Structure 1
Amino acid sequence: MIHEAVADEPNAAPVLSFGAKAEPTLKDPQAEAFYTEAVRELIASGLPFLLAGTYALSAYTGISRETKDLDIFCKAGDYQRILAHFSALGYVVEIEDDRWLGKVYKGTCCFDVIFASSNGTMPVGDVWFDHARQSEVFGIPVRIVAPTELVWSKCFIQLRHRYDGADVAHIILKAHDQIDWHRLLGYMEVHWEVLLMHLLNFRWIYPTERDNVPAWLLDELLERLARQRELPPPRMKVCRGRMFSRIDYEIDVKEWGFADVGGEGEWRNS
């Protein structure tokens, strides 16, 4: 089981430990030496970073599954510094998408350097570090993304080949008392319907655990929905599905007259 210990410092964040059955397994066991080296080098660089992805999910839920890499989160201003640091050490670096993602390679092994989401909704900022938790991976103390930000980071991952809705449901199930629901609503203020969808999904999956979601939050979101239904539909035809998957909703903007997340589309006939 995952257990929480008290950190040595009076105001330190809780320390989360992996149980024997909870720690993720690597698809390539030989990659552990690379990841251990990479994490130690990140710490030595003095550049702030957080561990996310499968390792953070395991720390909060106890879920153990196979993973092929590490997800390292950082602020946008430190993204280039991290890549430059590893490049100077002889690693191969790649900027896969300058809007959110870089990679560091050594042979066939790599780790991701992430500072936002691909759709622009999730910039990593100081508050992520303010609320980070302490954990340990490969025997090394590291900071991991807090459950509130971990939920936010997964809410928009809804592609045909990858859907993180189950991860969101499991975090709510196992770490609902550690989620700052007010902060999560603040993050998703513009896209509150996406949050509502995940909460309804959770209620349907776990009917006996419905109280894990605060009543005030569900009341707030349903009240917004009621007010929205009283209004006329928007005039601009927009396909926000592109924020989930650019490929799956490509036909909407190329052939059916819907605007992309940015840009103009057709006007809806009155």
Structure 2
Amino acid sequence: MSPLASARAILDQESRDFYRDALGLLDDAKLPYLVGGAYAFARYTGIERHTKDFDIFIRKSDFPLASRVLAGAGYETDLTFPHWLGKAFKGEHFIDLIFSAGNGVAEVDDLWFEYAVPGTVLDMDVKLIPAEEMIWSKGLIMERERFDGADVAHVIHAVGDSLDWQRLIDRYGKYWRALYCHIIMYGFIYPSKRSKIPRWVMDEMAKRVDAEMRRGDDDADKTCYGTIISRQQYLIDIDLWGYKDARLQPNGKMNAEQIAHWTAGIDQDGSK
């Protein structure tokens, strides 16, 4: 049984019907969406996870329509964190409507849809998020209680030889050191599979590090980029040690109100 098909055996009928109904409503409204989370991860790696999360990725501009469509069918909708996440509930069941990441970096744009891959989820034909975007978003999650490094390593192990590495590097942009961290660790984890990462990628990353080391410290820019990978663990750097928050505009993509709202959520739901 394939990882995606096995969802039939794992989910109870009520949950299965809820997810299928939600996807059907979005299909009827012709609203573009991608399925991510455990279903996409299973598609790429063959690793199954039995979670209650059902992650739907949409463009931010499509959230108002998604909310109206689902609310019209009796769902309760909530823009939980306006910079990246909404939810739709019915009874005990819910779906996540994701249009960015908690750090504001991995925003869903047209490229997610251009490079999406076909899949079957709950006997429905869907599009799944691309492997590159999965690595991009997961690779910037390094919380104390949640580190997605193993997921990144497993995706590279499974499909590294078919990844669009240039596009992945471009996705990370100025946060390329976080990607370098993961590919260095990948070589440590899988010494017999290091060739999954092309030699030119390792050479490019090494050249960038060498260039930075030659330039020396940038004393004029006292910024902490730790807040990009953890919303909680580097608050002391911002609050007490005088570092600038890398998430804050214009360096980052978030404003002060969004950061405060996201930080307040730590006590409610942990550092998701």
Contact 1:25 1:65 in 2 (8 A): no
- 1:11-90 superposed matches below 5 A: 18=4, 20=6, 25-26=10-11, 30-90=14-74
Distance 2:70 2:121 in 1: 20
Aligned counterparts of 2:65 and 2:249: Cα–Cα separation in 1: 32
Aligned to 2:226: 241
Higher relative contact order (CA 8 A, sep 6+): 2
Task: Give the whole-Å Cα distance in 2 for the aligned partners of 1:47 and 1:263.
Answer: 30
Letter in 1 for 2:138: K
SS at match of 2:174: coil
| Aligned partner of 1:149 among 130, 133, 137 | 133
2: distance between equivalents of 1:18 and 1:250? 39
Partner of 1:168: 152
- Pick which of 220-229 and 254-263 moved more: 254-263
Q: Which position in structure 1 is the counterpart of 2:237?
A: 252
Range with bigger deviation, 218-227 or 251-260: 251-260
Equivalence for 1:98: 82
- Percent sequence identity over aligned pairs: 36
**Unpaired runs of 5+ in structure 1?**
3-16, 265-270
Q: 1:25 to 1:228 in 2, by over 3 A?
A: farther
2:208 aligned with 1:219: no
Which structure dedicates a bigger proportion of its chain to helix? 2
Corresponding residue of 1:111: 95
SS at match of 1:168: helix
1:200 aligns with 2:184: yes
Aligned equivalents of 1:241, 1:168: Cα separation in 2? 19
Structure 2 alignment gaps of length 5 or more:
251-272
Q: In the alignment, is the contact (CA less than 8 A) between 1:147 and 1:178 conserved in 2?
A: no
Q: Tell me the C-alpha RMSD between the 2 structures.
A: 1.9
Give SS of 2:222's match: coil
SS in 2 for 1:96: strand
From 125, 134, 148, the equivalent of 2:109 is 125
In 2, are the aligned partners of 1:93 and 1:105 still within 8 Å (CA)? yes
Mapped to 1, the partners of 2:194 and 2:8 lie a distance apart of 28
Q: Deviations over 1:143-176 (max 9, x none)?
A: 1011111111211111112111111100000111
Inter-CA distance 77–232: structure 2 relative to 1 (3 Å threshold): same
Moved over 6 A (4+): none
| TM-score normalized with structure 1 length | 0.87
Shift of 1:187: 0.6
